[in-house]
Structures are given as structure tokens and as C-alpha cells.
Amino acid sequence: MPELLCGDDPEPSDRSPAGPLFVPVRPGPAGCVALLFRTPLGERTAVGFTSARGLAATLGPDQAWIRLAEPALRALAAPLGVTTVTVDPQLSAPAPAPVAPLPPAAVSLRIVRTA
């Protein structure tokens, strides 16, 4: 079977590695866990940034990260069924604003039975 040229294939056969990426993580039971996100169409994707500045601009300055090569990030996400890696995503929803906890008197639950 002839190999498709990059111009003919929407996802080229020859994936060139993006190099070392800044990958957002969170603490997990055995160390750091890479965060997975969703594309605008709802597909799960691993995300990496080519600079710490880009990661902080998108996810906030307090977001923890590790350095991983793009093939390593793919290998990490593959067992979870995630085959897409998004590098330097341009669009993201803003981080949620902190919410002050409600005072105990304001939290009440009333159960009403209807026939």
C-alpha cells in the first residue's frame, strides 16, 4: 500500500514529535497524573505546551506541570483510549472563580412529597 503524502492525508502517517512538552498534571496516589481534556467536539485529548509561559497563560500560574516528550505523553494516554495529543491549545474556558462556602444556616434541604 503506498504511503499517503502529507498534503493528501488530514492526519499524516509521519507524525513528527513536538519535542519536550510542558504537560499539566495534578497530584495522584502514586505521584503526578497527567490531566486529560476534551476537544470542542468532545473527544478526549492529552495536552502539552511548548513553553511554560503558554501553559500558565492558558491554565493559570498555579498549574503544576512536568516535562515529557510527545511520544511519552502519547504512550501514557494510550492505555486510557486517548489517541490525540493537542499541542499549544488556543482556546480554553476560563478557570472557575473561587466560591466562598455557605454558612451552615444557609444550607438546608426540604423534602416535599407530592402525590
Q: Is residue 62 pLDDT above 90, yes or no?
A: yes
Q: How far, in Å, CA of 8 to CA of 17, rounded?
A: 20
- Grid cell, residue 72, equals 511519552
pLDDT mean over 59-78: 94
Q: How many CB atoms lie within 10 A of CB 87?
A: 15
Q: What is the mean pLDDT of residues 70-88?
A: 94
Predicted TM-score of the model (pTM): 0.64
24, burial (CB in 10 Å: exposed 0-12, middle 13-18, buried 19+): buried
Instruction: Give the cell for residue 26.
Output: 495534578
Average pLDDT over residues 23-31: 92
What percent of the chain is helix, strand and coil (3-state, nearest 5)? 20, 25, 55
Which grid cell is 70? 510527545
Residue-wise pLDDT for 90-104, tens only, equals: 766 666 677 777 666
Q: What is the pLDDT of residue 13?
A: 43
